Amino acid sequence: MPRSLKRKPSPPSTPSSFKAPNRTGGAAVDESNPYPGFPNPTLEECQAVRDDLLGLHGFPKDFLKYRKQRLLLNQNLPDLNQSLSNSEQLNEEEGGDDDGCGQESVLDGLVGAILSQNTTEVNARRAFTSLKSSFPTWDDVHAAEPKLVENAIKCAGLAPSKTSCVKGILSCLLEKKGKLCLEYLRDLSIEEIKRDLSCYSGVGPKTVACVLMFHLNQDDFPVDTHVFQIARTIGWVPAEANVKKTYLHLNQRIPNELKFDLNCLLYTHGKACRECSGKGSYKAEVDSNQQPCPLLKYVSSSK
């Protein structure tokens, strides 16, 4: 029987509550909030961008199965149908269910996120499918020669380093827990999960955030290249912000109930839109359907 999706409630997500002492003797610095005086994005801006992108793309089918899981938890997710026209109503009976693979385990999600690093979604999915076909259980992967694992995931690129990362995680997990399973993370708080996963070599903040949002149904906001570029383009972070500070700032500013939908939509839009991805001028149009980018109005207002 599949494990229940119920999880331990956690307080509103903040990347960290740690406050480092000021070396100059001043007040403590909240490292989870790098831009406390920067007002964007507001709640209204988050809602407007969500609605604009829904109207352009609809809700991405690749992420529907994860949204269903969150709905099963009775989380306070917005009704997307209110933001779509009658011809674009969200049909959660179509596409994106589970591709016949059943519910993914947390360990499946972590390895899938590792395979997706520095490659396309298509190649990452192919690599994961190949890995599971070649080695039906994680014990099989752990026991396999590294070269065999590399051959199974080579289409995702960086096969030697990704193999080393995956096998290292499996070895550490077996040593710590006695079995290859990460389901215990479902009972931990966001901060506890971050501390646990960050101990593994090759597992960075974005990978942890993806596991939190997609596989542990927590309220977190991963920042990849697409989300980072759009956030800078529409003025949601200061011009000097880097990926780490963008992640910290957006997790502070974006309401928990909008994080999942907004993240999926920004990621999808960033892949389709040249101006938002930084690959074209702001006069370009969305390549996929030749409609003007709805975020252009935020670009002009942020300059």
* pLDDT given at position 91: 52
Query: Region 220-245: what's the mean pLDDT?
Result: 95
Which residue out of 65, 132, 194, 206 is catalytically annotated?
A: 206
The structural domains of the chain, with segments of one domain joined by +, span: 39-99+221-302, 106-215
Q: Alpha carbon 198 to chain centroid distance? A: 15
Among candidates 48, 14, 41, which has minimal Cα distance to 220?
A: 14
Q: How far is CA 287 from CA 102, 137, 175, in A?
A: 34, 41, 49
Q: Angle 234-208-57 (CA atoms, 0-180°, nearest 5)?
A: 40
Which residues make beta-bridge pairs with 292? 285
Mean pLDDT on 32-56: 95
User: Do 181 and 160 meet the contact criterion of CB atoms below 8 Å apart?
Assistant: no
Q: How far apart are CA 234 and CA 245, in angstroms?
A: 16
Reduce the DSSP state of residue 285 to 3 states and report it.
Answer: strand
Calculate mean pLDDT across residues 165-173: 97
Which pairing describes strands 19-20 and 29-30: parallel, antiparallel, or unpaired?
A: antiparallel
Q: How confident is the model at residue 275, as a pLDDT?
A: 78
What radius of gyration do the chain's Cα atoms show?
A: 20
User: What mean pLDDT value characterizes the chain?
Assistant: 83
Q: Say yes or no to pLDDT of 46 above 80.
A: yes
Give the least confident one: 81-85, 90-94, 148-152, 236-240: 90-94
303 catalytic, yes or no? no
| Residue carrying the six token digits 């912000």 | 241
What is the mean pLDDT of the segment spanning 235-262? 96
Per CATH, which fold does 106-215 belong to? Endonuclease III; domain 1 (1.10.340)
**Chain segment 65-111, per-residue pLDDT in tens:** 999 888 887 666 777 776 665 445 555 444 444 443 456 899 999 99
Query: Cβ(194)–Cβ(247) under 8 Å?
Result: no
Q: CA angle at residue 193 from 187 to 198, to 5 degrees?
A: 155
Residues comprising the chain, all counted: 303
pLDDT at 302 over 80: no
The pLDDT value recorded for residue 303 is 56
- Going by pLDDT thresholds of 50, 70 and 90, the confidence category of residue 22 is very low
Q: Give pLDDT, residue 228.
A: 96
Taking each helix axis from N to C end, the angle separating 146-153 and 121-134, rounded to the nearest 10 degrees, works out to 140
**pLDDT band at 298, cuts 50/70/90?**
confident
Q: 155 in helix, strand or coil?
A: helix
The CB density around residue 198, as the number of other CB atoms within 10 Å, is 12
Closest to 219 (Cα-Cα) out of 183, 191, 178: 191
* Better pLDDT: 157 or 13: 157
* Across 220-225, average pLDDT: 96
Task: Tell me the mean pLDDT in the region 146-158.
Answer: 97
pLDDT at 132 over 90: yes
Return d(Cα 174, Cα 27) in angstroms, integer. 43
Query: Residues of 144-161 as b/e, b for ≥16 C-beta within 10 angstroms?
Result: beeeebbebbbbbbbbee
Q: Which of helix, strand or coil describes residue 264?
A: helix
Q: Token digits for 227?
A: 């989300």
What does pTM read for this prediction? 0.81
Residue 4: which H helix or E strand, with range?
none
pLDDT of residue 259: 97
